[in-house]
Amino acid sequence: MRRHPEIGYRIISSSPEYSELSEDILCHHERWDGKGYPQGLPGKDIPYRARIIAIADAYDAMTSQRTYRKVFTKEEAIEEIKRCSGTQFDPIIAMKFVKALEKDNNLQ
């Protein structure tokens, strides 16, 4: 499971039309506080698009059915993103992501 960023990186980097996204795929499990993987990059050392992907991926994982845990409500997922802002997620991107979700009255 922890190797999927590297596997995705290798697959995407081999395609000329998508190769510019390969670093974003590689780094989407890095954390703002530097405790992520595979490289342990902190803060702004993480590519910008990877920081966006990290939040979108986490939100999708929380609000999708998994065999090993219950589905979060959209409100619970928003609270988790807020809680992890500044540690797991870029705080500015997290704030913008949450604002966009909260602006949607249906939270869908």
- The CATH number covering residue 35 comes to 1.10.3210.10
For residue 45, tell me if it sits in a domain: yes
For residue 15, tell me if it sits in a domain: yes
Q: Sorting pLDDT into bands at 50, 70 and 90, what band is 105?
A: low
The model's pTM is 0.88
Q: Give me the domain span that covers residue 69.
A: 4-103
Q: pLDDT tens across 17-42, in order?
A: 988 999 999 999 999 999 999 999 99
Cα torsion 96, 101, 105, 108 to 10°: value is 160
For residue 27, tell me if it sits in a domain: yes
For residue 108, tell me if it sits in a domain: no
Burial class (CB in 10 A: 0-12, 13-18, 19+), 42: middle
> What is the domain count for the chain?
1
Please give the average per-residue pLDDT across 66-75, as a whole number: 91
The mean predicted confidence, pLDDT, of the chain is: 93
So what's the pLDDT on residue 63?
96
How far apart are the C-alpha atoms of 6 and 10, rounded to whole Å?
6
